[in-house]
Amino acid sequence: MKRRHFLLLLVFICLVILFRFYNLPQTTRFTRDESSNLRDMKRIWVTRDITLIGPIDANMTIIYPSLTFYMLMLFAVLGKFEPQSPAYGTAFFGLLIVFLILFLTKKLNKKLLPFVAALSVVWFPLIESSRWAWNPHLVAFTSIIAILLYFRKDKISFIFSGVFFGLSFHLHYLTFFSFAAFILLVGLKSLRQKKFLVPILIFLGFFLMIVPFIYFDWKNPPGLFFNHFWKNNLIRSHGAPDMLNFIRSFSVNIYQSLFYLSQNMLLAIFLGFILVWLTIKDLIHKSQSLLFLIPVVPQIAIISFLPTFENRYFLLGLSFFITWLIYPRGKKEGSLVKFAVLIMILGSLGQLKNQLTKPIREPAAGTVSLVSNYIRDKVNKDDRKNVNVAVLASPDADPLGVVYRHTLQVKGINLLLENQFDITDNLFVVSTSDEDKVRKDPANVMGGFRKGPLADTYKLANSEWRVYLFNRY
pLDDT per residue as tens digits for the range 353-388: 999 999 999 999 999 999 999 999 999 999 999 999
- Residue 312, pLDDT score: 84
Task: Give 220-244 pLDDT, tens digit per residue.
Answer: 777 677 665 666 555 554 544 455 6
What number is the average pLDDT over the span 208-230?
Answer: 76
More reliable by pLDDT, 306 or 208: 208
DSSP character for 264?
S
Query: Domain coordinates of the chain in residue numbers?
Result: 14-357, 365-471
Helix/strand/coil percentages in the chain, nearest 5: 65, 5, 30
Q: What is the arithmetic mean of pLDDT over 69-83?
A: 97
Which has more confidence, 233 or 449?
A: 449
50 or 23, greater pLDDT: 23
Pairing of strands 426-431, 387-391: parallel
Mean pLDDT of 53-72: 81
pLDDT value of position 64? 82
Which stretch of 182-191, 227-236, 436-445 has the lowest confidence by average pLDDT?
A: 227-236
Predicted pLDDT at 50: 83
322 pLDDT band (50/70/90 cuts)? very high
pLDDT of residue 206 exceeding 80, the answer is yes
pTM for the whole thing?
Answer: 0.93
Is pLDDT at 278 greater than 70 in this prediction? Answer: yes
DSSP 281-336: HHHHTT-TTHHHHTTHHHHHHHHTTSSS--HHHHHTTHHHHHHHHHS---HHHHHH
